Amino acid sequence: MARKFFGTDGVRGKANTYPMTADMALKIGAAAGRYFRNDGSNGHRVVIGKDTRLSGYMFENALTAGLTSTGMNVLLLGPVPTPAVGLLTTSMRADVGIMISASHNPHHDNGIKFFGPDGFKLSDEAETEIEALIESDITPAQAENIGRAKRVDDGRFRYAERIKSTFPSGMRLDGLKVVIDCANGAAHRVAPEVLWELGAEVIPVGVAPNGLNINENCGSTSPQAAAAKILETGADVGICLDGDADRVMMIDETGQVADGDQLMALLAGRWADQGRLNGGTLVATVMSNLGLERYLDGRGLNLARTAVGDRYVVEAMRANGWNLGGEQSGHIVMTDFATTGDGLLAGLQFLAAMIETGKKASALSKSFETVPQMLKNVRYTAGQDPLAAQSVQDAIKAAEASLVGKGRLLIRKSGTEPLIRVMAECEDDALLAQTVDGIVAEVAAAI
């Protein structure tokens, strides 16, 4: 069943534009409150975190109003990373956690994503039931049963202590010069604090949020600023987070960027050597590079692919008992430590590898040669379906035929933006460009 409001990672859109309006946020809060406070008692609670977008204030207040109107008690964490919400939902015994963030998107976008009482993101089925409640008449709580709201001032410190506990006991980062780019986002205070407390010399980038500069020319989607800072300062390594700190890109001492695929390859290999990689399997999405698959195969390890979205990676991990997965975009999920992608946690694992092996970042950040990959996006208007056009379907069939035995093609709609994503992999650069550009042209013409 197609969902009306929820995409691959909660409800998302441009702030003050449907469905990301204050009125809709109030309805979403009321619907979630009714869904989780289903026994009428007053002991139910929800934790709410947010990143640093200006619109976060509006949505935080609207959600709080909707939730308390149905009798839920609200605990407001303020700006914290997305993985902190997953952690604190369980540690504070909440029924649900909510993160207000559009992750790596620009400041004018925002989103609302949910975590269940176990700290994992809600299933499609639960979100579908909440959708049905959004469009129904929700009976508010009796006046004496309206929920309460309070600020929780130590949320980031609780998260910091948990993150440090995942770092090898007794290990320090003394002598290591680390650039940390926080994307002017949710981790702008906690990430530099954690690195400093572990002993690193910290060089911060993107730590001056003003509500409008989140992910702007910084962070995991724009690592150039951090790379330049590494070269300027002679730093040993860089960690680039996105706006809500659930994804990461690593940068070596030469300024070269390592994506999520390279980081997963490093961790999978190390964990396999240590007997820690459950089932000898890494979970990644259909977007991960063919080179990663070849690397794992050469190590006698398995790659299980899922649909795009870290929630689908986690679902496969939980269903099969696997403990390592992620996305090329930098979501790294380690269920031994966390319930969702955590960029700072993954970055610390990379730093631990540097300390334990004595190797430079450049020696650890490239485990395999990538197969040339090209990805282009075509924006369309909501309500359109350019992939249904016969001309587009014919172009896709022709492209697939040309890539048989040479590469692969993936065409999909983004789950968070109105974009058609056209991705291909092929070791023939000319054929790669011809394939992607040809399909992009047909999609654009259909639009």
Q: Supply the residues annotated as catalytic.
A: 103
Would you say 185 and 243 are in contact if contact means Cβ atoms under 8 Å apart? yes
Place of tokens 């947010």: 50
The residue type of 253 is E
Residues 6+ apart with CB under 8 A from 171: 198, 352, 355, 356
Place of tokens 């309006």: 21
Other CB atoms within a 10 A radius of the CB of residue 252 amount to 21
Taking the C-alpha atoms of residue 218 and residue 170, their distance in angstroms, rounded to an integer, is: 32
Q: How far apart (Å, rounded) are the C-alpha atoms in residues 196 and 178?
A: 9
Q: How far apart are CA 253 and CA 356, in angstroms?
A: 17
Q: How many other C-beta atoms can be found within 10 angstroms of the C-beta atom of residue 417?
A: 16
Order of strands, sheet of 237-241, starting from the edge strand that comes earlier in the sequence: 201-205, 177-181, 237-241, 248-251, 257-258
Q: Amino acid identity, residue 220?
A: S
Cα–Cα distance, 64 to 32 (Å, whole number): 11
Residues 6+ apart with CB under 8 A from 111: 9, 10, 11, 12, 13, 20, 100, 101, 102, 103, 105, 416
Distance linking the first and last C-alpha atoms of the chain: 25
Bridge partners for 285 per DSSP: 306
Q: Which helix (H) or strand (E) holds 167?
A: none
CA separation (Å) from 292 to 58, 296, 369, 370, 426?
A: 42, 6, 8, 7, 14
Q: Name, in order, each residue with C-beta under 8 angstroms of 307's C-beta and a sequence gap of 6 or more.
A: 8, 285, 286
